[in-house]
Amino acid sequence: GAGVSQSPSNKVTEKGKDVELRCDPISGHTALYWYRQSLGQGLEFLIYFQGNSAPDKSGLPSDRFSAERTGGSVSTLTIQRTQQEDSAVYLCASSLGPNNEKLFFGSGTQLSVL
């Protein structure tokens, strides 16, 4: 596609429910990144994929968070048993490769946990 696409753009859920956030990177981009941005805060790294594998999962805040990428393209970030502190904008980015390529960010998913 023309840019990184994320869905949904907004998600409101109740505490304790599971949510899935989707990212469709730019076609041909092998590297994919997930970041979290709480209100007025910086970009917190969550996970990085090169192809379908995730060599770095160090940023996932807890075992309630998981992510997968299939076919070297679309990625899904899953948050189980959501908590109020999970409320944030979840940003996905992709790059042509892992070596000092510029990141293209999607518009993000605004997650609100009530």
Partner 1 sequence: QQPVQSPQAVILREGEDAVINCSSSKALYSVHWYRQKHGEAPVFLMILLKGGEQKGHEKISASFNEKKQQSSLYLTASQLSYSGTYFCGTPGVYGGSQGNLIFGKGTKLSVKP
Nearest approach, Cβ of residue 95 and partner 1 (Å): 9
Based on CB atoms, which residue is closest to partner 1, 74 or 103? Answer: 103
Per-position DSSP letters for 83-102, written without gaps between them: -GGG-EEEEEEEESSSSSPP
Based on CB atoms, which residue is closest to partner 1, 3 or 16? Answer: 3
Based on CB atoms, which residue is closest to partner 1, 91 or 111? Answer: 91
Residues β-bridged to residue 7? 22
Q: Is the dihedral of CA 32, 78, 107, 7 positive or negative?
A: positive
Tell me which residues touch partner 1 (CB under 8 A): 33, 35, 41-43, 45, 47-48, 50, 55-56, 58-59, 91, 98-100, 102-108
Task: Kindly state the tokens that stand for 26.
Answer: 């730019």
